[in-house]
Each structure stands twice: as C-alpha cells, then as structure tokens.
Structure 1
Amino acid sequence: MKKIAALSTLLILTSALAVSPKDTLVVQEASDIPTMDPGVTYDTASGAITENLYETLLTYSGASLTKLEPLLATKWTISNGGKTYTFDLRKNVKFHSGGAMTCADAEYSFERNLVTNSAESGNWFIAESLLGTGANANDDKTITWARIDKAVECNAAGQLVFNLPAVDPAFLAKLAYTGQSVVDSKYAAKLGEWSGKEADWKTWVGKDLTNSKLSQAPSGTGAYKFVRKDANAFLATAFDGYWGKKPAIKNIVIQKVPELAARQQAFLRGDADIIEGGGRAVDEEQIKGKAGVLWIDNLPNTVSTAFFMNENIKSTGLLGSGKLDGKGIPATFFKDSNVRRAFSYAFNYQQYITDVQNGKGKQRTMLLPDTFPGYDAKIGTYSYDAAKAKQYFQRAWGGQVWKNGFVMTANYRAGSVPAQTAMEILKKNVEALNPKFRVNIQAKPWSEMLADSKSGKEAMIVIGWAPDYADPDNFMYTFYSSNGYYFPRNNWKDAQVDKWLEQARNTVNTAERNRLYSLVGKKAYEQAPYILMPAGIAYTFVRDSLTGVSAANYNPMTSFSSTGTLWKDLGKK
C-alpha cells in the first residue's frame, strides 16, 4: 500500500518537477488506453502497455523483423509436415499475482483467444492458424469445444503443443504479437473471467474483453506490473519477481495530454522523457536540435495509413439529412467509385509531405510497406488534380452530387496533428471545387473513434496499420479483403480481389504471392477504396538522458511510443 501511495503522489507531483526523476520514465500521449487485456489488444496505445506487462512465447531478435528468439518459451520443434509445434516453456516464471506460470496458463491463454475472438480483438489471425477460420463459434457453427481444445494442449511432459489444420509459414511470427501473451489463468478465473473449462465456454464466445476485469486489474509475467490507471494517467512499477534481468527504471508514468504545445513544453523542460509528437514538420521545427533532445532519424517505416471512405455508414449523426439534397449524404455515398476517385484527386499529397513530413515522405502504390515482399512500385498513384476531381464529382451519382452538393462530417483522432492536417487539406480542396460542397471535420477521442469505426459508424477517418507479424498478408488481407479486419470500417468489396487474396495466403510460392498482390494493388488503384497517405521516413526523439534508444536496436514491431523499445530495455543517466 505504501508503494501505491508513493506512486500516486509521484503522479501528482511529476508535472511540477523540473526534471523527471532518474528512477521514473514519464511519457505523455494524446491518446487514452482502450484496454489492458491482451485478449483484445489491437491498437498501438493498448499494445504499448500490454507488451510491457505481459510476455509472449517468442519475440523479435533485436532490430530484426524476421528473426525470432525465445521469451517465455525456451525452444520449439516442428513436426507432422509443418502442422505440429511443440514448445518447451521457461521454468521459475512468476505472474504479478505471485503464482507460478505453467503450461496450463499458456493453454488457457490461447484457448481464451479462440473462444472470445471478438470483432474488437486481433485473434482472427491466430484463429485462422489454429482452426482454419478467423471466425468465432457464434459466426461459424462448425467450431466446437473439441476443435478448440485439440488446437492447443499440454502434453504429459508439460510442453505446449499446437495442432494446425494446415501449414502456416507465418505461425511463429504470429505468436510474437502481444495479443498472444500468456495470462494468469487462475487469477483471471477468480476475477470472474472464463474458467478455462468446457462448462462455460459458450457464454464467452465473441465476448468483448475491452473493459474486462482482467483489463482493470492485469497480471502478467512482464518486467513491470500495473499499479493504477484513471482517465488521465497510468502507473506501473518494476516487478520484483521478474524472471529476467531487472529493469533499470523503477517507475512508469504515462500521462494523457491532448494538447501538443503542452506536451512539447513538458518535454523541453525535462518533465517528460518521451512525448507523442506532431509530425515531422512540427517536430523538426519545435524539437530537433534543442538542448537535451536525442533525435534518431532514417528509421524503417512499416506503417500504412489511409483515409477510409465508408460505403455503408451506420451513424445517422454524420449524414445530415441522409440524402443527396445538399444538406447531407446517404449512408452509401462512397459506394460510387466516382466519389472515391474524386476525393482521391482532391487530396494534395505533396502538400502533406511538405507540411507534415517536412519533405521527407513518399507516396506508396499500395497499402503495404515498400520493404515487404509483394510491393509493386509500378502501380499508379493519385496526385492532386482539381480538374479530375471535378470531373469525377460531376459523374458521381448520375450528376446529383455536383448538382445538389453535399454536407458530410468526418472525424479525426483528437490530438493527432498529422490526421487533423490531412483532414484540413482535403476539406479545403473539396470545398473549393463547388460552393455546395461542405466537409465538416471534428476531433474525437481515440477509444470512441476506434469503437465506432469498428461498428461502421464513421463516415471518413484517417487510420493506419502497423504489422502484427512481418508478412504481406497482414496488410493486404487486412485492408483489401471483405473478410479482413478493416472491412467493417469501409465496406468495400470486390469478388476478384477476395479470390486473389485467398490464393495468395494458400501458397508458399513467393513469386506467385507477389504476382497476386500486384493484381490486388492494380485493382485497388482503379477502384480507389482508400486515399493512400504518403509514407514518412520514420524517426523518433527522446530526452538525451534516456538510454537504450538507438537505430541499432529500433524494432518497428514494438509498439511503445515509436521508440522501438520496451520499458525494460531503457535506462536513465
């Protein structure tokens, strides 16, 4: 209790300190933290927390995107033609609750993910590996408890065994994702979570774990354990019982500070060690070169970002009149490809590169990092062209869009300067085409926008995708398949694209996969389901008193504050 009280006092005092304490890491972000339950962690803000409180069987080695090394596992073997994986687990590992980690905890964790597998989680891709489908038992009646139980089990030697229905070359990489962390099964059951038994599994199928009891009181094996959280701050402290090397920094304080100027001032004073920046142009002007700043540039960018144009908007609050009468838009406004292409030509990509990325960005042809296999640089790209935008708007909806005009509302993540700037550029250019065009933009809290976009309630948003595992399927299927994770956000569907993507994930022939992804990219260029945002050259900055952040150990598969590191790898001098 004394430790908790001391940390609570620390939280109150931090903003008044000239320099954050040497034993404390202070981070300021614009976003809130939607969840701390790894079973439903599927956004970077949540992932930045769970990857430090919990641990996975495997992790990426150093800065590599392809080399994996043991974490909670010590070794593994692959048999049965690549369909059976057997893991030896690390001994003497404790949970934050004090209980010892066993194979039963690992089995429970994966079975829990397969059972719940809600639309809010990223468990679709592990379900595809272990069950042959990304669905849960409510959506696919062929999924039984027997299938789930067989998919992952502990053998007599205490080893964890996965039984896959088909070969999956990306399976090991999927296990390194923070959502596949091992949770404390006995502790979770005592909280009132799923028992781990067949008796109550059906009541947990598809259940949203975002605000679960485990999210409110997490217990992992990570180097840091949770202390408390409220609407504006998160506190964690080093776990004394951690099995690995003891972290150099004792306390973690993450503060929600929506205003960029306030974050910048705190950072430059030394009150915060790391902050969420405002995009390259802003950060280079306000932060780079200032006293006490460590700036690291030319880092790999594995994020793809786009404007989503929802073809079936379920929120009437964003539609105005709901008709093409000059006072609103219909729910299917973006279903006409002429509308989508018009918006694509109305965005000034070079202005975004200049204003947000300070000239250090480039357009991609696909929503796939250009360092990944399958990327085709020869596919066309859109450019700002007011004449073409006008031409497509005049065609849209049989001429009704141009004749009557429209009013629509688009939301962007509160505190995100790049997203706000992108929206402002698009708004200005679209409205300049026709005095009857109106695009209203407004800021919205991240957790609310995340939930509403998953439900198809957002008309247009800017959102990105960071890879769960280093394979092109994780981007291409996610963005372009009608069975992909992002489909409910934009509701774009093309039967031929779906076919190509299924073919690509069912072959290990790299050349054939690349050919199929190129076909998808070309079709997407023609149909314009997204406005592709220019990709910046990645960078990060921290206070120069912070150690452990460098280009050599930067891994983009790590979520935390864009530094590519875990808390346990940081220190302060």
Structure 2
Amino acid sequence: MHVQRLSILSLTSLLLSSAALAAAPSDTLVLQQSSDISTLDPAQAYDIPTFSVIENLYEPLVAYQGSDLTRLHPVLATSWKISPDGKTYTFNLRKGVRFHSGNVFGCADAQYTLQRLIVTNNADSGNFFLSNSLLGTESNAADDTSITWAKIAGAVTCNAAGQLVLKLPKSDPALLSKLASQNMSIVDRQWAINLGEWNGTEATWKTWVGKDLTDSALSKQPSGTGAYKLVSRDDHSVLATAFPSYWGGAPKIKNVIVQLVGEEASRLEALKRGDADVVEVGARPVLTQLQGRSDIVILDHLANLSTPVMLMNEDIQNPALLGSGKLDGQGIPANFFSDVNVRQAFSYAFDDTTYIRDITGGAGVKRTMTLPPAFLGYDKTLPTYSFDKAKATAAFKKAFGGQVWDKGFTLTITYRAGSKDGQQTIDLIARAVESLNPKFHVITQAEQWSSLLSDSKAGKTAMLLLSWGADYADPDNVMYTLLASDGYYSPRTHFADAQIDQWLTQARTVTDPQTRAALYRKAGARAHVLAPYLLMPADPNFIVFRSNLQGITPSSFNPMLSGLSGTYWRQLSKK
C-alpha cells in the first residue's frame, strides 16, 4: 500500500487506528509524547508540549540557529538597531512573507501581536516577562492601574518606514532573548480580528485584559508564517502539513503527526516497530531497552537548560512539618534553614557521587551555580560542595550555637508521589544526615505533585526537589528567579541577601555582556557560601529516534526548542 498517496485525512485515520502501520510513511513525521497540547494560541501558550507545535506553525521576530545560544538570528525581523541607552529597539521586517491564511505579513501584525500579549497577560501565560520589559511591570491592567492604553500603544509602534519600534522604560539586555520565546510568535492580525479576537483598538482593549485564550478562536484556527500549517487537532493528535508558500522554502517532510500516547511502554514499542519516528522517553534507565539496535539512534549528552536544585525553606509555614516546633529532638523551628550552617551541612551531606551513579546512570554533571553552563556568567571555576561527613558534622555543630548537634531534630521532607528518582534522592539525603548523629531524624513523605506545588508556593514545604526550566536564554531568567528576594521562588525559600539583590538588579539593566557576566559570577560565588539551594547534578538531554530520520545532530539540537527532535520539523528529512 502506497500510503503516501492517500489524502491527509485518510492518512491521519490510518496512523491513529488500532491497526498500526508497519512503518511511518516516508513523507510523514510521527512524534509521540505523553502530554496533550493545551492551546495553539501563542498568547496563552506556556508549556513544553504546546510550544513544540507552536514553534513550527508560527515564527517570532528572532530565533536561535542550530545549537548556538549566544546570538539571535533574523526570522521575521531581518535586522535591528538598539539605541545607545538601550531603551529603543527598531526592527526591519522581512518582506514577501505570507501567513497560512494568505494574508501578507507586515508591521501591523507584529505590533498587534505584542500589544495583544501585554493586554491579555494572565497568571497562566508567559507574557509577564514581555510586560516587564515594555511597561516595567509583570502585571496586567486589572492588577496594576498604572497600565494605560497610552503606555501600551507607546511601547509598541510602527513608524512611517514600516519598521517595528519598541520603547522601553529602562534598558533590558534580555529583550531579544525574550522575543525569541515561542509565545512571542507573530500572529495574523486580520485573520484574528475576523475570527472575533481583540480588534487591536483602544475602544475595546479593557474587555480583553487578562483574558484566558486557551480555547480562543485563534487557537482553533491558527494562522502563522511557519513552515507547517494546521490541518486538524483533537484530544489525541495534531496533524500539520507543509505550507507551500513558506518564505524559507518547502520542507522535505510533507506531513507531521503529533500523537498523545500516555504509556511509555507503548511509545517505545511504536518506536521499535517504526510506527513513530521520535518518541518521548522518561528517565535515563529506559535507554537500556533501546541500546544496540541499528534501527534506533540514541543521541546523548546534549545541553540541558534546566536547573535542578533542592530548595531549603528558611521560614516553613506548615506546622505539620515542624513537629514540636523546637530544637528538642522532636521537631524543628520554622526558621531551621535560616542558619547558613544548617544549609551548608545539608549540602555537605548530599552524596553527589552516589546520586550521579545510581540516579543519573553516571551521566549527571555537577554545576557550580544555579545557572546552566551555556549561559552568560556561568563560572566553572567556583568551588562546589562534595559529600564530606566531617564538614557536614562541623557545620551542624555550629548551627544555632551548637543546639542542633546537642539536641538533635526531626525533619519531614516531602517528595513527589510516584517519582522513583525523587524518592531515591530524598532517601539518599535522609540516610546520610541520620548517619551523622543518632539524634538526627528525617521523615520522608510522598505527596501529590499538585499539592506539593501549591504548598511550596505558600511556603509550606521544608525541602523540595525541583527543576527550573529557562523561559528565555538569559541568566536573568534563572538567577533572578531563584536568588532575588522578590524572585519567583522567594515565597518558597524566604532567602534574601541584599548584596546578591544589588548585583542581580544591576545586571538587569547593564547592556555590556562582560559587565553582566561579572555580576552573575559574583552572585554565584556568594550563593555558594550562603547555600540557599542544594545544587543537584544535571542530567544531560538525550533524544531517541529512528535511524532513517535525518537532521537531528548535536549541532542542530537547541535546548530552547521544545519539540522532541530538538530542532524544527522543517529541518528534518527521511531516507
């Protein structure tokens, strides 16, 4: 059967039927993942599975090329100029570009897109960082009355030459990185308005403030400039086909199907049979099931932009975790982790060698900072904590003037229910700490992830294993998030240091890269001493795919992309 000659809809039916094909057709890319697509409206998108589709249907002004994270390359913007004070950006826009609707791309589309992002900015979208750059606040007009239409309209304009002009209240060296994010993708203004979306005017903007666009008309009928356009979408799959008028040339693969397959075992079997070209796999140990096969490629040791850490909450707002609430061997005070000696002791008590061997399969890599090594400012020369019982003991003996060592404690640590790696990690720490002093007791307790997240946000966890994924490839998004006294994780850690705050705030507006890098290195060095987090070794990324799929290489993989292949669909082909 020559499946490639069937209609697109017939092809979809066959691929999704219980009678699976012997192999995915040569003109079709089949990807299988565990999570569904929440929306196809860029203004509401803020999760990896959703971004994996949006980044191929839409395009931003600028983007990364290949594996390079240090430079932004032109996409819908061909070039740009930044004023000497860093507060005005002027973009020249690409000519001859069409949306999937047939409409011609122009400055009005870019202006509408960015203004719409600011207007509809809500708690479940990632638009807060653009609002912060253009208006000086992460809030929307419903929460911040200083936001006016005049400010929004003045921040994003089109000049007489058809150039896009962005005016910032203060310089932001991370702006270009923010504009490369998938949720900054440019939408088709006229198409959106015709569908009933916001019409882009002052008269109606207030009715759209903070609006949830998950099920927007644009989500159901997207029109981008990407190499692929949507054919259909349901709860189980997304089908896209090559856009014949794509300005960058026709992709080599005609059809792409993204399937939602919840069971990892089913995804692995599909990969082995050739029913899927690329599949999502879980923890590293699963690779043993695929090694040695000539029809499957394992591309390993790829860059990982997540920052895995164990937070230590300095003001635990949960009596259930405190026991007696005192240093009497039966509990801990709420400020147990406010003593730097306690935090350092736990850092020394973490058996990183065993963790790397048993939990990451030997692939884990230690880091010196709460920052991916690929980012500006990472300092590989900074010292790290290593498993050292003597140093852990010495630090515990200093804590709270010797009371921790003399009286002991009972600490409860929660972890994600069902997470084998999480449980092993917590147990590893618990065993090491308890081995130091018979008066030390650590209770490990499983909790549903949704509850852990809400408890953490309310400052109700004592310690929590987490991994922060960068929204944009700039150190500000990681360092400020994790270490600033008003950063995203501050309510979870209650960590605050005036010196680190000063450096991180300064780095947000300094435009010279070398100066910024020096500030982040200083913050990293001080954070090592203060130990607000226990730094976890980072497991490198890996991809598994069929050997006849071409275009997935270390030089093409970019960790800022969300697709399973780590590159754009248009860059792939089959042999």
Using structure 1 for the length normalisation, give the TM-score: 0.83
2:443 pairs, out of 425, 430, 438, with: 438
Equivalent residues of 1:30, 1:256 under 8 A apart: yes
Taking the TM superposition and a 5 Å limit, the aligned residue runs for 1:535-546 are 535-546=538-549
In the TM superposition, what whole-angstrom CA distance separates every residue of 1:16-43 from its partner, at most 9, and x where no partner exists?
Answer: 3332222322222234444433224333
In structure 2, what is the Cα distance between the partners aligned to 1:313 and 1:192? 47
- Report SS of the residue matched to 1:39: coil
In structure 2, what is the Cα distance between the partners aligned to 1:192 and 1:337? 56
| Pairwise CA distance, 1:296 | 3.0
Tell me what 1:10 maps to: 14
In structure 2, what is the Cα distance between the partners aligned to 1:138 and 1:544? 52
Equivalent residues of 1:393, 1:402 under 8 A apart: no
Mapped pair 1:495 → 2:505: no
| Pairwise CA distance, 1:542 | 1.6
Letter of the aligned partner of 2:569 in structure 1?
Answer: W
* Alpha-carbon distance change, 267 to 138 in structure 1, aligned in 2, over 3 angstroms: same
In structure 2, what is the Cα distance between the partners aligned to 1:437 and 1:386? 16
| Pairwise CA distance, 1:179 | 1.8
Equivalent residues of 1:88, 1:159 under 8 A apart: yes
* Alpha-carbon distance change, 75 to 508 in structure 1, aligned in 2, over 3 angstroms: closer
- Report SS of the residue matched to 1:198: coil
In structure 2, what is the Cα distance between the partners aligned to 1:293 and 1:469? 31
| Pairwise CA distance, 1:110 | 0.6
Letter of the aligned partner of 1:473 in structure 2?
Answer: D
In structure 2, what is the Cα distance between the partners aligned to 1:12 and 1:401? 64
- Report SS of the residue matched to 1:362: coil
| Pairwise CA distance, 1:544 | 0.7
Mapped pair 1:116 → 2:112: no
Letter of the aligned partner of 2:485 in structure 1?
Answer: S
In the TM superposition, what whole-angstrom CA distance separates every residue of 1:460-487 from its partner, at most 9, and x where no partner exists?
Answer: 5544344444433232222212343444
1:571 pairs, out of 552, 570, 573, with: 573
In structure 2, what is the Cα distance between the partners aligned to 1:529 and 1:454? 16
Taking the TM superposition and a 5 Å limit, the aligned residue runs for 1:447-526 are 461-487=464-490, 490-526=493-529
Deviates more, 1:286-295 or 1:87-96: 87-96
- Number of residue-to-residue matches in the alignment: 563
In structure 1, what is the Cα distance between the partners aligned to 2:424 and 2:216? 35
Tell me what 1:247 maps to: 251
In structure 2, what is the Cα distance between the partners aligned to 1:86 and 1:346? 52
In the TM superposition, what whole-angstrom CA distance separates every residue of 1:158-184 from its partner, at most 9, and x where no partner exists?
Answer: 332222334444433332221211123
Mapped pair 1:175 → 2:179: yes
Taking the TM superposition and a 5 Å limit, the aligned residue runs for 1:63-212 are 63-79=67-83, 82-210=86-214, 212=216
Mapped pair 1:218 → 2:208: no
In structure 1, what is the Cα distance between the partners aligned to 2:421 and 2:110? 39
In structure 2, what is the Cα distance between the partners aligned to 1:328 and 1:189? 59
2:371 pairs, out of 357, 368, 371, with: 368
1:263 pairs, out of 261, 267, 275, with: 267
| Pairwise CA distance, 1:503 | 1.6
Tell me what 2:26 maps to: 22
Letter of the aligned partner of 1:549 in structure 2?
Answer: I
Gapped regions of structure 2 (runs ≥ 5): 1-5
- Report SS of the residue matched to 1:557: coil
In structure 2, what is the Cα distance between the partners aligned to 1:251 and 1:555? 22
| Pairwise CA distance, 1:102 | 3.1
* Alpha-carbon distance change, 352 to 124 in structure 1, aligned in 2, over 3 angstroms: same
- Report SS of the residue matched to 1:51: helix
* Alpha-carbon distance change, 75 to 52 in structure 1, aligned in 2, over 3 angstroms: same
In structure 1, what is the Cα distance between the partners aligned to 2:172 and 2:65? 21
* Alpha-carbon distance change, 357 to 520 in structure 1, aligned in 2, over 3 angstroms: same
In the TM superposition, what whole-angstrom CA distance separates every residue of 1:32-64 from its partner, at most 9, and x where no partner exists?
Answer: 444433224333333222211210112223332
* Alpha-carbon distance change, 245 to 324 in structure 1, aligned in 2, over 3 angstroms: farther
- Report SS of the residue matched to 2:17: helix
In the TM superposition, what whole-angstrom CA distance separates every residue of 1:392-445 from its partner, at most 9, and x where no partner exists?
Answer: 779589759976634453227x7x776565456456656777795322235648
Tell me what 1:550 maps to: 553
Letter of the aligned partner of 1:368 in structure 2?
Answer: L
In structure 1, what is the Cα distance between the partners aligned to 2:35 and 2:433? 29
Deviates more, 1:206-215 or 1:247-256: 206-215
Equivalent residues of 1:324, 1:400 under 8 A apart: no
Tell me what 1:410 maps to: 415
In structure 2, what is the Cα distance between the partners aligned to 1:209 and 1:487? 28
In the TM superposition, what whole-angstrom CA distance separates every residue of 1:519-569 from its partner, at most 9, and x where no partner exists?
Answer: 3223322333322221244443321111111123222332222x3311111
Gapped regions of structure 1 (runs ≥ 5): none
Letter of the aligned partner of 1:559 in structure 2?
Answer: S
Q: Report the aligned-residue RMSD.
A: 3.9
* Alpha-carbon distance change, 420 to 11 in structure 1, aligned in 2, over 3 angstroms: farther
- Report SS of the residue matched to 1:28: strand
Deviates more, 1:331-340 or 1:471-480: 331-340
Equivalent residues of 1:58, 1:72 under 8 A apart: yes
* Alpha-carbon distance change, 111 to 534 in structure 1, aligned in 2, over 3 angstroms: same
* Alpha-carbon distance change, 4 to 312 in structure 1, aligned in 2, over 3 angstroms: farther
- Report SS of the residue matched to 2:250: coil
In structure 2, what is the Cα distance between the partners aligned to 1:41 and 1:130? 20
* Alpha-carbon distance change, 341 to 155 in structure 1, aligned in 2, over 3 angstroms: same
| Pairwise CA distance, 1:192 | 4.8
In structure 2, what is the Cα distance between the partners aligned to 1:560 and 1:420? 28
Letter of the aligned partner of 2:69 in structure 1?
Answer: L
Larger radius of gyration: 2
- Report SS of the residue matched to 1:410: strand
Taking the TM superposition and a 5 Å limit, the aligned residue runs for 1:282-321 are 282-283=286-287, 285-309=288-312, 320=320
Taking the TM superposition and a 5 Å limit, the aligned residue runs for 1:417-436 are 422=425, 425-426=428-429
| Pairwise CA distance, 1:227 | 4.1
